[in-house]
Chains A and B, each alone.
Chain A
Amino acid sequence: MQDVVRKTIGRLALGLSVSLPFAQGAAAMEPLQAIGKGEGVLNVVAWEGYAQDDWVKPFEAATGCQVHAKYAGSSDEMVALMRSGGGDQYDVVSASGDATLRLIYGHNVQPINIALIPAWKNFIPQLQSPDFNTVGGVHYGVSYEWGPNTLLYSTKVFASAPTSWSVIYDPKYKGKITVPDNPIQIADAALYLSKTDPSLGITDPYELNQTQMDAVVKLLKAQSGLIKKYWALASDEIQLFTSGDAVVGAAWPYQTNTLQAAKVAVADTIPQEGATGWADTWMISAKAPHPNCAYEWINWVTTPKVQAEQAIYFGETPANTLACKEMDAQQPGSCAQYHANAPASYFDSIKFWKTPLPDCGNGKHDCLDYSAWQREWQNIKG
């Protein structure tokens, strides 16, 4: 009896000593060496529009992995979902650049063996090993698609495209404005202020000290009185524009495509101040119950064909350079329309979402971290 107890304790201790080093540092787990037989199921956390039947059904038929998709409305929600229930509920997530580092440092995702992803070598260079999904030379994800956050407007109200983001802060449109219910929205206001009020000295909309944040919050609090509704899901914004409750707002190209397909009189634009944007990465959960299906999925969605389908459906730009030809084959002119052949300067002009950290990137450490952004956002919404 005593022996059994001692053995159990010994095993527990051994288990602890083995697992403890794994709990520290970013690079701990060994990536998959070869893709084995699929497990038959794949649980996906994705943005709305990222798991469409057009490419999910053929994937299921080809690999036998049944896809269960759960849509998230914000990066925060994605992180929370990947951490829920001990982290073994979902296999893959289409995380944006403001969520990836949180997932990596939270040990929620596993390293990727990039040799098992053949499409990777055809990615645009900026998205092969970007610092938001590759840490210390270790890949924690595979880049997917990217694009700008746009200004969506009703063409019944605006005869020509607004040239400035100022329209979403304009009392003229009181009660007809909608913006995402998402703390990262603070960066949109910061980008606008960095152009309209240079005295604040905002160089990066994700690196704000308290003085700069106070100015941004002041602008957003004034805006909140003009807002019809802070939208949580893309479908909310689509309904607001369909019913005419909103006539101008911050959006993704996806909403524009969906609304235009439904014959609602809307268009979108990138105003002169520029735009924030996203670059998404497929990541695999550290405790993924179906890792083989997860790799199969990443390989499937990085093929030029699916990259093109996704780009046209959502209105974004694929990471895989070979997708351009495929896009034009599916919808003539779409490669240029969605910037799949644009020069590197276009990519560099977008201020991609990233996790706000205390490190300001200029030697100072007085910037506000993301939990401060979340508190400020609740304050703005009231």
Chain B
Amino acid sequence: MRRFLSAFGWRHEGAANAALLGLPALWFAGLYLAAIGALFVTSFWTVDSLSGNLIPGFSFTNFQQLLADPVYTRIGLRTIGIATAVTLTDITLAWPVAYAMIRLAGPRLRAALMAMVMVPLWSSYLARVYAWRLILAHDGLLNWGLKAIGLPGLHIGYSNWAMWIVFSYLWLPFMILPVAAAVERIPPSLLEASADLGAHGLATFRRVMLPMALPGMVAGAIFTFSLTLGDYVTPMLVGGEGSDFIGNVVYSNVGVTNNIPFAAAYAALPLGVMAVFLLIARRLGAFDAL
């Protein structure tokens, strides 16, 4: 039987591929695409305000409301803006770590650095966010430390600054790993050639390493950008006034207001943003670097 199957698979390549991809494809189509389809359909429905029952149909009410009220534009821009800031911060922080890990460290130190990057991912996301809440609070570790060295305290607990710091911390490993992989792929001979031709370290970095590692950076950006874009827990825990994300509006419309169609309409926005982002990322070769 086993022999027959392998012979069959060898002769009919298509059947073998179908057998291998069948289950994941079914999963993808049945759960993922169907869910997105349901989201789009629901976004045109409405809700009866007193009984809370869904009214199926086709109306643009939700989208009109989203466009008419400037608060939703503001929340959308805030979400995209912070996601962008987090991505740029993580690229800046990831470079020295990745470079040191690949070019400077010996094999043992490299393994140790790699482990240090990965270890936070093993602990609960919530525990880490709550830890930051304590660090940044009025009487938290940060202000205690500042006071100890004679500096005035910072009031960044429960603010957009806090969100920026916490997000940058949370997603940093997802940037370091692809950047490190990209740096590893640059042949050392190119760097030597650059030096031989008289380029400074900085010029080599800017004109040889940076362009060659670009796909890795974009690959990391897919993670940092999309993870920030879709989050709502961090804004809820460390955000202050005026810190709502798209996800918070979706959450409160589903879990609190019970206006699922409106939530579906707003959730279509990050979907569109990510589609554009991924198209650009593919242009820049990010998918070859994953």
Contact = CB atoms under 8 A, between A and B. Distances in A.
B263 to A, nearest CB: 11
A378 B249 contact: yes
Given A106-B53, A370-B49, A378-B69, 7 more contacts: A80-B257, A106-B52, A224-B242, A225-B241, A243-B140, A378-B244, A382-B241
Nearest to A182: B256
A107 interface: yes
A382 B50 contact: no
Interface residues of B, number: 31
A236 to B, nearest CB: 9
The number of chain A residues touching the other chain, given as a range, is 20 to 34
Given A76-B256, A244-B138, A245-B137, A224 B52 contact: no
B39 interface: no
Contact of A80 (B50, B71, B244, B258): B258
A243 B49 contact: no
Contacts of A326: none
A66 B71 CA distance: 44
A229 B156 CA distance: 12
Contacts of B138: 243-245
Contacts of B259: 371
Contacts of B51: 105-107
A79 B249 CA distance: 17
A232 interface: yes
Given A230-B241, A370-B49, A245 B158 contact: yes
Nearest to A78: B256
A77 B255 contact: yes
B69 A83 contact: no
Which residue of A102, A224, A369, A378 has the most chain B CB atoms within 10 A of its CB atom?
Answer: A378
Contacts of B69: 375, 378-379
A369 B257 CA distance: 13
Nearest to B255: A80
Which residue of A175, A227, A240 has the most chain B CB atoms within 10 A of its CB atom?
Answer: A175
Interface in A194-248: 224-225, 227-230, 232, 239-240, 243-245
A45 to B, nearest CB: 13
**Pairs of residues from A and B, 10 with the lowest C-beta to C-beta distance, nearest first:** A227-B241, A243-B137, A106-B51, A382-B242, A245-B138, A80-B258, A244-B138, A76-B256, A371-B49, A229-B158
B178 interface: no
Contacts of B155: 175
A113 to B, nearest CB: 24
A381 interface: yes
A152 B53 CA distance: 38
Interface in A328-381: 369-371, 374-375, 378-379, 381
30 contacts: A74-B256, A77-B256, A80-B255, A80-B256, A80-B257, A102-B52, A105-B50, A105-B51, A106-B51, A106-B52, A107-B51, A108-B52, A224-B241, A224-B242, A228-B240, A228-B241, A229-B240, A229-B241, A230-B241, A243-B139, A243-B140, A243-B157, A245-B137, A369-B49, A370-B49, A371-B259, A375-B69, A379-B69, A381-B242, A382-B242
